[in-house]
Chain A
Amino acid sequence: MKKRGRGIACMWYPIGFTVAANPSAAVVKVNEDGTATVLTGTVETGQGSLTVLGQIAAEELGIATDDVHVVSADTDTTPMDTGAIASRTTYVTGNAIRLAAEKAKEILFQVAAPMLGVKPEQLEARDRKIQVKNYPQRCIGIGEVANQAQFVMGQPALGSASFNPPTVALDPATGQGKPFATYVYATQIAEVDVDDETGEVEVLKIVASHDCGTAINPMLVEGQIEGGISMGVGFALQEEMLFDNKGKQLNPNLTNYIMPTSLDMPEIEVDIVKNYDPTGPFGAKGVGEPTAVPTAAAIMNAIYNATGARVYSLPATPERVLAAIKVARSKQLPKPKKAAKSKRIAAH
């Protein structure tokens, strides 16, 4: 008989390395045509980080994302970046790029201030213009300012910066410290059907609520969450590396190492929690790895909710689920009341 259950799991996850230095550096230059070029050592692996980093530079400079050309991952020419790991790119590399863009913008403000007859601190960069705050009609195109900076003032509009998440080393005696600059949080709820005769589990739906600070690109955040859930579903129910007694993997192939297909994926509802981290670029933190953290736990809790069975070893294959259901049933059997019986006899 199929039994339906729901389970919930929560998690927190740190952004960046544990205390160890993990800097990112960046160069941003504003060109005479009003576009900008970003140099970053980080690598795009499909998660969309270069889009997000371009958005961060664009937001700081008041231009469009399409105006930003991101040059990345060339160790000959791009500045050092620790890499697309530790869910750190948006936060750490993003901070470096925002700071570098801010420096380039400060040069633009210094150049534009005398042109507009105001002080640099009265200026803002918006809509591809350098304009006087609250008087947007008093403005100059950002390209014209960049041109003036180079050819009249002799001070090209560029900035470089690096960012290393501030941490405090852990005290070996007390364990106290601040190992990470920021953390993200999430809750996922799984709804499953468990066949209590075969042990087969079908994940029907996952609702995933994630805090990643400001979601700079919500569509890409959704993509990360959906991808993480697919990894979590595989971790929970299917994926298992098998080794022989000499440590050689028995299933080093996709025939026997089973990962989720389109048929295994549940319906997914993504909820991006509105949050703002003042230490992140425009309030952003990160979202990559944490997306896969709570999924398996939520599914196991849902199996327990459906059947009363606790699975302690992943993946929860039909064999393991069935064995756990049998254990749960054996515990539910009524215990013989020996003590009460003997008491009754004694009373007689």
Chain B
Amino acid sequence: MTDVTLKINGETRSAAVPPETTLLKMLRESFSLTGAKLGCDVGDCGACTVIVDGLPVNSCLMLAGQADGREVLTIEGLATPDHLHPIQKTFEDCASLQCGFCGPGVIMSSKALLDANPNPSVAEIRDALAGNLCRCTGYTKMIEAVQQAAQVMRSAKSKRAA
């Protein structure tokens, strides 16, 4: 067994898992964080995307042991009981998701993009979402939602600064 201690959504958590356990499996089965989805399990679809130390990763391709001592943000870490995260809100407002299975991964990829680049171009958004497959929506309304979320997050930031 491998002992893993990491910070998930701001909280320090520990688990002992078999060494071949992926980060995705540990999140879902040891910590009951089922927002990240098991899609292809080989890094093609992006449904398992979480943010590790600020970067979006396919959690099906990362061993749980590799996440030891690192900071992981999952979709469960975005909303508060009272408020959706601005990206979740704009995805809802724009009807950006249909069946929703890809949603947690798409939103985490968008979050990683906007944290690094608060004012992305459409081309940069398309590039950031290229690892997240969606069969329903054609991505168009997702791109719109990321643009709107970027605007909301920028104006919230400048308000805080003022």
Using a CB–CB distance below 8 Å, which chain A residues touch chain B? 45-48, 219-220, 222-223, 226-231, 253-255, 259-263, 265, 268
Q: Which residues of B contact A231 (CB under 8 A)?
A: 135
B42 touches A253 (CB 8 A): yes
Stretch at the interface among B60-68, B70-78, B91-99: B91-99
CB closest chain-A residue, reference B143: A262
Which residues from chain B contact A220 at a C-beta distance below 8 Å? 95
Q: Check if A253 sits within 8 Å of B129, measured CB to CB.
A: no
The answer to whether B133 touches A261, judged by C-beta atoms less than 8 angstroms apart, is yes
State A186–B155 Cα separation when bound (angstroms): 40
Distance between A235 CB and nearest chain B CB, rounded to angstroms: 12
B140 touches A226 (CB 8 A): yes
B-chain residues with CB within 8 Å of residue A45 when the two chains form the complex: 98-99
Given A45-B99, A223-B98, A227-B98: A268 touches B140 (CB 8 Å cut-off) = yes
1/0 contact trace for B130-157 toward A, CB 8 Å?
1111111111111100000000000000
New A-B pairs, 19, CB < 8 Å, besides A255-B42, A268-B138: A46-B97, A46-B99, A46-B136, A48-B98, A222-B141, A223-B98, A223-B136, A223-B141, A227-B98, A227-B135, A227-B137, A253-B42, A254-B133, A261-B130, A261-B132, A262-B126, A263-B127, A265-B140, A268-B140
CB distance from A259 to the nearest CB of B (A): 6
In the bound assembly, the distance between CA atoms of A220 and B139 in angstroms comes to: 14
Residues of B within 8 A of A219 (CB): 94-95
14 residue pairs A–B, Cβ–Cβ below 8 Å: A46-B136, A48-B98, A219-B94, A220-B95, A223-B98, A227-B136, A227-B138, A253-B40, A253-B44, A254-B44, A254-B45, A255-B40, A260-B138, A261-B132
Are A262 and B142 closer than 8 Å at their CB atoms? yes
Q: Is the CB of A263 within 8 A of B45?
A: no
Residue in A223, A228, A229, A263 whose beta carbon sits within 8 Å of that of B130 in the complex: A263
Most buried by A among B97, B99, B126, B140: B140
Task: Tally inter-chain residue pairs, CB-CB below 8 A.
Answer: 77
- Distance in angstroms between the alpha carbons of A227 and B99 in the assembled complex: 11
Closest to A51 in B: B95
Q: Does B100 contact A (CB under 8 A)?
A: yes
**B138 and A229: CB pair below 8 A?**
yes
Query: In the complex, A223→B100 CA distance in Å?
Result: 13
* Alpha-carbon distance between A262 and B120 when the two chains are bound, in angstroms: 15
Name the prevailing secondary structure of the B interface residues.
Answer: loop
B 106-143 binary contact with A (CB < 8 Å = 1; else 0): 00000000000000000001110111111111111111
List chain B residues, Cβ under 8 A from A262. 125-127, 129-130, 132, 139, 142-143
Q: Is B95 in contact with A254, judged by CB distance below 8 angstroms?
A: no
Q: Per a CB cutoff under 8 Å, which of A223, A253, A255, A263 touches B137?
A: A223
Chain B interfacial positions (CB closer than 8 Å to A)? 39-40, 42, 44-45, 94-95, 97-100, 125-127, 129-143
Minimal Cβ-Cβ distance residue in B for A255: B44
**Contact residues in B for A261 (Cβ distance below 8 Å):** 129-133, 139
Q: Are the C-beta atoms of A226 and B141 separated by less than 8 Å? A: yes
Q: With A and B bound together, what is the CA distance between A262 and B143 in angstroms?
A: 9
Chain A min CB distance to B123 (Å): 9
Which A residues are CB-close (under 8 A) to B40? 253-255
**Least distance between B73 CB and chain A CB atoms (Å):** 21
Cα separation A230 to B42 with both chains bound (whole Å): 23
Contact B140 A46 (CB under 8 A): no
10 smallest beta-carbon distances between A and B, as pairs: A46-B98, A230-B138, A46-B99, A226-B138, A254-B44, A262-B129, A226-B140, A262-B139, A262-B126, A227-B138
| Residues of chain B lying within 8 A (CB to CB) of residue A46 | 97-100, 136
Residue of A nearest to B46 (CB): A261
> Which B residues are CB-close (under 8 A) to A229?
138
Query: Can you name the residue of chain A whose Cβ is closest to the Cβ of B101?
Result: A46
